[in-house]
Amino acid sequence: MSKNVVSYMRVVSGEFKGRPLKSVPGNTTRPTTDKVKESIFNMIGPYFSGGTVLDLFAGSGGLGIEAISRGMNKAIFVDREYKAIQTVRLNLEACKVSEDHYEVYKNDSERALKALVKRELVFDLIMLDPPYKKQKLIDLLTFIEKYNLLTESGYIVCEHGSDIELPEEVGALRQTRKETYGMIGISIYQIHKGIEHNEVQE
């Protein structure tokens, strides 16, 4: 019987630079490599003056923790796997992140988004790193746009297979950057200022 191997990444830059991060045990979660993580934040930051990040398929929590390290003042981590939630908490503790800077929830993405809408929360940065399925990402982008979960100047970062082509526009969201790193593709969306934002009807 094979044993679960826990590998390590690190916080690339900011307040917690160099701190080691555990990956989720087993092979069901695919961590974002340090190289890709650094490239992502160079495209959208690289540093922030406050703000709130949603790490919706948190895995180890590496993306959300990186955002806090680089200046975001709050992160919400969501994952449906218990092992992932345990790993997020271990990594937050290892980085000595203050408890008032994060929330961690075991939930699936759809329920979590509906709960965030009820709380009337909006985010400056939303990280979407689901299993590599195009339709899942389009559905998530559509929901986020419809319910105005992104601030006017915010970013949505989608991580997906490099063979996946996401649409250039989803409602008022426009793809502003697309990069490929081997088998990994990154697509970044922002609200297109020329398009009126949705008014959600009850």
Q: Quick one: pLDDT at residue 62?
A: 96
Q: Quick one: pLDDT at residue 16?
A: 97
Helix (H) or strand (E) holding 138: helix 134-146
Which pTM was predicted?
A: 0.91
The tens digit of pLDDT for each residue in 32-82 reads 888 999 999 999 999 999 999 999 999 999 999 999 999 999 999 999 999
Helix (H) or strand (E) holding 175: strand 173-181
115 vs 201: CA distance, rounded Å = 17
Query: 1 is written with which tokens?
Result: 């019987």
Mean per-residue pLDDT of the chain: 90
Residue 201 and residue 172 in contact, taking contact as beta carbons nearer than 8 Å: no
64 vs 72: CA distance, rounded Å = 9
Q: Quick one: pLDDT at residue 200?
A: 45
The tens digit of pLDDT for each residue in 89-131 reads 999 999 999 999 999 999 999 999 999 999 999 999 999 988 7
Asked if the model's pLDDT at residue 2 lies above 80, the reply is: no
